């Protein structure tokens, strides 16, 4: 009888572990997919900014005080108000062009994700297209069920450095 109880308990433990593992794998896959969507949303907002519209950033970024932006102008901004102010300054520059991301690696957890990529494309400086190729790291946090950017860091661009 005791052996049967032990075996039944072990079997239930295996079934439970398999169920939890399958559920976690499904959650991980869903998180990875929605982080990719959040990444695409960030780059759509970036391209809107190049034509002068910084408003889409209000949707893709967390509005928390622990967000950071270390962009191609060499500045370091901490907190939503500073980050938004920097994006608004850049929007006024109307750099034109378009940037896309080439994924290198995404590490996705339950509530945090790090996306490493290349940002490639061009901006328009003094009426002339200028190639852009930057390394970038994007950090997202799940807030109220949605992935929001909390950190963005890139290489510097000489034409933007302060």
Determine the average pLDDT of the residues in 19-25: 46
Count of C-beta atoms within a 10 Å radius of residue 110: 10
At 21 the pLDDT is 44
In the numeric block, which tokens belong to residue 115?
């996306």
* Residue 21: CA count within 13 A, CB half-sphere: 6
pLDDT digits (tens, 9 = 90+) for 92-144: 999 999 999 999 999 999 999 999 999 999 999 889 999 999 999 999 999 99
CATH class of 2-154: alpha beta
Beta-carbon contacts of residue 153 (< 8 Å; ≥ 6 apart): 68, 69, 70, 71, 136, 137
Count of C-beta atoms within a 10 Å radius of residue 151: 19
The single residue listed with the structure tokens 């034109």 is 96
Distance CA 54, CA 41 (A): 13
pLDDT digits (tens, 9 = 90+) for 41-97: 999 999 999 999 999 999 999 999 999 999 998 999 999 999 999 999 999 999 999
Domains of the chain by residue range: 2-154
Q: How far is CA 34 from CA 47, 108, 129, 140, 146, in A?
A: 20, 10, 33, 11, 8
* pTM across the whole model: 0.80
Q: What is the residue-wise DSSP string for 71-92?
A: -TTS--EESHHHHHHHHHHHHH
Beta-carbon contacts of residue 139 (< 8 Å; ≥ 6 apart): 112, 113, 114, 115, 149, 150, 151, 152
């Amino acid at each position: 009888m005791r052996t049967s109880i032990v075996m039944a308990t072990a079997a239930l433990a295996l079934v439970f572990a398999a169920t939890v593992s399958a559920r976690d794998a499904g959650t991980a896959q869903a998180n990875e997919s929605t982080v990719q969507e959040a990444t695409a949303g960030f780059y759509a907002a970036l391209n809107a900014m190049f034509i002068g519209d910084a408003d889409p950033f209000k949707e893709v970024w967390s509005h928390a005080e622990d967000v950071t932006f270390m962009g191609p102008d060499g500045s370091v901004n901490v907190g939503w108000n500073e980050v938004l102010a920097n994006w608004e300054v850049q929007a006024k520059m109307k750099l034109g062009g378009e940037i896309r991301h080439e994924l290198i690696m995404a590490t996705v957890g339950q509530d945090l994700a790090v996306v490493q990529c290349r940002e490639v494309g061009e901006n328009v400086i003094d009426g002339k297209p200028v190639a852009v190729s930057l390394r970038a790291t994007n950090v997202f946090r799940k807030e109220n069920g949605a992935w929001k950017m909390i950190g963005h860091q890139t290489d510097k661009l000489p034409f933007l450095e302060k």
